[in-house]
């Protein structure tokens, strides 16, 4: 279970950062940045992949009520321009910038899930598997995942063929079949091979 060991090694306030949506063929990449409160942290925070959708929804609502939360979103067209790596770095930067604006100051330290850091001016530490180690990163993973899932569910109403309410834009069989039958939408990532292959000239 994630804890506060890494947070206690840093000068505060400490921000945890994580992203959701690097792998899908459609939709944005979303990052969240979270500063947990000194008291009253919601119980049950864990790596978002280990939680059900209803648990993520509940915890996301609780976190937005008690923590300082920033969200960064980079849409599919910008992912195509930047590539997914730099788009993810931009989303993380936007999320931490949003927290700094809410805080009215530069955070003391940023803990980032993964092995790379954005090019920014914040004191920061990458933490591989951070969503299973750091409570702040785990909280960010919940907010990022729930936020992105809700965006894709909303988009599914506009583009029902692609089954996004279920697959959230990932390349499952139904999504790939819909791509072949109907072609890509404006929300698809044209730089990703399965999408690019559907628009190649015959």
Confidence of residue 20 (pLDDT cuts 50, 70, 90): very high
First-to-last C-alpha distance (Å) of the chain: 51
Mean pLDDT of 14-38: 98
pLDDT tens digits along 77-95:
999 999 999 999 999 999 9
> Which residue ranges are tagged as binding site?
18-19, 113
Rounded to 10 degrees, the C-alpha dihedral 115/118/120/122 comes to -40
Q: What is the pTM of this model?
A: 0.96
Task: Decide: 138 and 47 in contact? Cβ < 8 Å.
Answer: yes
> Which residue ranges are tagged as binding site for a divalent metal cation?
18-19, 113
Residue 202 has pLDDT above 80, yes or no: no
Mean pLDDT of 49-59: 97
All domains in the chain, ordered by first residue: 5-196 (3.30.420.10)
What pLDDT score does 12 carry?
A: 84
Closest CA to 2 of 29, 26, 36, 53: 36
Average of per-residue pLDDT values in the chain: 96
Confidence of residue 154 (pLDDT cuts 50, 70, 90): very high
């Amino acid at each position: 279970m994630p804890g506060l060991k890494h947070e206690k090694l840093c000068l505060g306030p400490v921000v945890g950062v994580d992203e959701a949506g690097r792998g899908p063929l459609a939709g944005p990449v979303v990052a969240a940045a979270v500063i947990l409160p000194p008291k009253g942290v919601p119980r049950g925070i864990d790596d978002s992949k280990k939680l059900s959708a209803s648990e993520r929804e509940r915890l996301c609502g609780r976190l937005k009520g008690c923590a300082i939360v920033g969200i960064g979103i980079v849409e599919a067209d910008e992912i195509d321009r930047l590539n997914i790596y730099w788009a993810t770095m931009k989303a993380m930067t936007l999320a931490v910038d949003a927290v700094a604006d809410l805080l009215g100051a530069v955070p003391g330290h940023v803990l980032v899930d993964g092995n790379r850091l954005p090019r920014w001016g914040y004191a920061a530490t990458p933490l591989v598997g951070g969503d299973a180690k750091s409570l702040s990163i785990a909280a960010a993973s919940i907010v990022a995942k729930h936020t992105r899932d809700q965006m894709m569910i909303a988009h599914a109403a506009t583009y029902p063929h692609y089954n996004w309410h279920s697959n959230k834009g990932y390349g499952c069989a139904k999504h790939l079949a819909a791509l072949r039958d109907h072609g890509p939408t404006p929300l698809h990532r044209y730089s990703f091979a399965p999408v690019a292959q559907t628009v190649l000239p015959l």
